[in-house]
Structure 1
Amino acid sequence: MTEDESRRRRARWAWVGGLAALALVLFFVYLRLSRTYAATSDGADQALQGWDMLHGNWLLRGWTIADVTYYTTEVPEYAIIELFRGLRADDVHIAGAATYTLLVLAAGLLARGRSTGREGLIRFAVAAGIMIAPQFGNATHLLLSQPDHLGTSLPVLLVFLMLDRAPRRWYIPVAAGVALTWVVIGDRVALLTAVGPLAVVCAARVLFAMLRYRKSLASQWYELSLVAASVVSFAAAELAVRLIGALHGYKITPVASARIAMLQFLPHHVQATVGGIRNMYGADFIHISQNSLFGPQLGGLPLSVGVALAALHFVGLALAVWGFFRAFRYFFDPADLVSPVLATGIVINVAAYVPSVVSARIWDAREIVAVLPFGAVLAGRMVPSQLARLPRRAKQALAFVGVGVLACYLAGLGFGAAQS
């Protein structure tokens, strides 16, 4: 083995060891933070389904559940936890902490892409840093306390990670189609965040290559395969749900979430959407300053400090917004499929959410919670390439500011985890 190969192997093991250590620390911190909220009926519902599944009721016969079932996402996660711990209220907190820990790491790895060395570390740190400290309060409840659409974002990011790292082989679209089918069975929001965006971006690239460069359809087989995989995944998921019903499995109670709100309510929905995005990014200083959750002090933390920490989270939100807009510059770049898919996923998800009857309150932002990991990944993928063009002193100054902001995030995270 040459010295270069030995160095690369040590670097890989350092990454693996560092990720394992980070995952362990984050899990226990997020578990402590999740326990600041009591387990509710939503989490209990999924925990009982997992317990039933663990004891042989794989199709959940006898259950009548809502249109978002989490049958293939969080329910199996609960079953695995209960295999080792039994059925307890704390299973809800363990599942929430485990999901968010894995989501932070997946976002960092997807942001890193194929980059190595210092650039790869910066990309990872930007994406993970934006997500690392949920705002104490409603953001904790939204991200850590119960099964929700955030858990669906984890397998979606893993599919995108495969598309980003894997070679262009015939089996990659097949694997992506199978994985997307699995996710859509449990949560149809994946149609807006993964299936639809992937089909739109790939189809647009095929048309662009044919019209702009006069390329043949055969030369675009990979993108066409991903379009086909997206379409087939939706059809296969629908077929699977109907098959479960035919086999006397769980029954679904449809809800009216797909209805469009009246036009006069649209400004309020836009305001609630913006507030919800601020909240999930930890930048909801308005909600804190109104004392609507915690009174004049934020669980013992002076209100002014709580507002300052929330204002600092605007740094992460600003980076995510900047990365979102910049990602569209790579819409037809064959070297980067994931960035435009993530940006398109944000557009489709938010565009479907704002005019619907669901987007009436800040609490309803769970329907667009994929905006958080998607935006964090885009910030991580876009920032380092721009830093490389700056003078050395500017880089050093930005590094100093970034470390300071991250330290403040971690201080806020530590405070939240220390609460009762």
Structure 2
Amino acid sequence: APIAGVAAARLAMLALRRRALREYWYDAALLAAAAASYELANVSLRAIRKFGGYYQAPLPKQLIAPTSQVRGNLHMTLQSIQLLFGASYQGRHPQLNLSAELHWVGLGLAAAGLAVAVVTFFPSRTFPSRTDRVSQILAAATICTLVAGVFGTLIQSLSYAHEVAILLPLGAVLAGRMLPPLLPARWWDTSSEQRSSRPATVVFSLLGIWLAAGLAALCFAASWAPLGPPQQQLATWLAGHHCTAGLAGYWQANSTTVVTGGQVLVAPVTPESLDVRHWESSSAWYDPAQSRADFVIAASDPSVPPGGLSILTVRKRFGQPAREYTVGPYVVMVYDYNLLTRLGGRAFPGVPGTG
């Protein structure tokens, strides 16, 4: 979309200036390629789905947030940007607060790069050399992402910061492309008579100190003992008790499976109805002819993040378990039959024979 939008804008500018037709071809080709890429992506996804690979989940029905949520979305988007750039104090050890303050400099440089790109977006006599096509596309992509975060429905909490993660590389590239040309040309002159320029020495010295301090903070944080995976206790217990396949909520299922190195396969189910969760899962995990699941991981208190399945919901769906074990904040509910036979939603889109 940013490429198509920039190409269309550049074509409009050429038309307004009544430029020669030979100057239109590049942006016209970009516009055509952007349009073709959309349909090519749809064809590719249909082919992948037909051959049993994966299918793309549909977008939420409500993409535009109501007016009452825009202010909250703005606050959450700004917090997400702070987190992405390392400038957030949330959850940070007090000894690393200085590291966050150092990253505010990087965030400021990225914001300055975007501001310059917006001001110089359209060609002019004042800024003829900083309106290149790549910078325009980067600026358009950044603005589109920001608008989607503020007026959309995807940024519900900091857990969704990855939805706007592209802002980090976009900001870095914009800062690198847009800010250096603002410096006087003589600062880049390496001849001996220009090397003693005091402003240049001060600016580059400050940047060097900033980079060195950031590297020192990184090394200091890296020297700390690593935190263990949150599901380590649960994963160790399951592997030690030969519980090899079961069901759980999304967060407990994926992380537990990874922590055990695949020794235990925990398939995710929906928290409300305990049906198959089609998100990031495989149809083979839920096929009773191929797999057997005989335990469910429930949370002692589902209201405590990252939550989990309710014990009451599990009993309502699968009945009274044969055995129950409390492992940290979780309850492992073991059954004497294959739980997959009672799962709903086992039919995966694009996968023949499931159901």
- Common topology (TM > 0.5): yes
Tell me how far apart the structure 2 counterparts of residues 308 and 276 of structure 1 sit (CA, whole Å): 19
Judged with a 3 Å threshold, the aligned counterparts in structure 2 of structure 1 residues 255 and 309 are, in CA distance, closer, same or farther, namely same
2:344 corresponds in structure 1 to: none
2:145 to 318, 342, 349: 349
Is the aligned partner of 1:324 residue 2:100?
no
Question: Aligned with 2:60: secondary structure?
Answer: coil
Counterpart of 2:135 in structure 1 is: 339
Note if contact 1:327-1:339 (Cα within 8 Å) is conserved in structure 2: yes
CA distance in 2, matches of 1:403, 1:336: 28
Select the residue among 205, 220, 243 that pairs with 2:10: 205
Alignment partner, residue 150 of structure 1 = none
1:312 is aligned, of 79, 102, 124, to: 102
Amino acid at match of 2:156: A
Gaps of 5+ in 1: 1-195, 288-292
* Higher helix content, 1 or 2: 1
In the alignment, does 2:184 pair up with 1:376? no
Q: Structure 1 residues 206, 251: CA separation in 2 closer, same or farther (over 3 Å shift)?
A: closer
Q: 1:385 is matched by which residue type in structure 2?
A: P
Larger RCO, structure (CA 8 Å, separation 6 or more): 1
**In the alignment, what sits opposite 2:42?**
238
Residue 257 of structure 1 contacts residue 356 of structure 1 at CA under 8 Å; is this kept in 2?
A: no
Classify 1:257/1:346 alpha carbon distance in 2 versus 1 (closer, same or farther; 3 Å): farther
Task: Give the 5 Å matches for 1:11-410.
Answer: 196-212=1-17, 214-254=18-58, 256=60, 259-285=63-89, 287=90, 293=91, 298=93, 303=94, 305-328=95-118, 329-332=120-123, 336-388=132-184, 392-410=197-215
* 1:358–1:364 Cα contact (<8 Å) kept: yes
Percent identity between matched residues is 32
How far the C-alpha of 1:314 sits from its partner, in A, is 1.2
Structure 1 residues 220 and 413: alpha-carbon distance in aligned structure 2, compared to 1, 3 A threshold: same
Count of residue correspondences: 210
With structure 1 as the length reference, what TM-score do the two structures score? 0.47
Say if 1:281 and 1:317, in contact at 8 Å, map to a contact too: yes
Distance 1:365 1:390, change over 3 A: farther
Q: Point out the structure with the larger strand share.
A: 2
Rg: which structure is higher?
A: 2
Name the SS for the 1:250 alignment partner: coil
Which runs of no fewer than 5 residues in structure 2 stay unpaired? 188-196, 227-355
TM-score normalised by the chain length of structure 2: 0.55
> Which residue number in structure 1 is paired with residue 233 of structure 2?
none
Structure 2 CA distance for aligned equivalents of residues 308 and 408 of structure 1: 9
User: RMSD between aligned alpha carbons?
Assistant: 2.1
2:87·2:107 contact (CA, 8 Å) conserved in 1? Answer: yes
Report the CA distance shift for 1:387/1:233 in structure 2 as closer, same or farther (over 3 A): same
Once the two structures are superposed, what CA deviation does each residue of 1:37-80 show, in whole Å capped at 9, x if it has no partner? xxxxxxxxxxxxxxxxxxxxxxxxxxxxxxxxxxxxxxxxxxxx
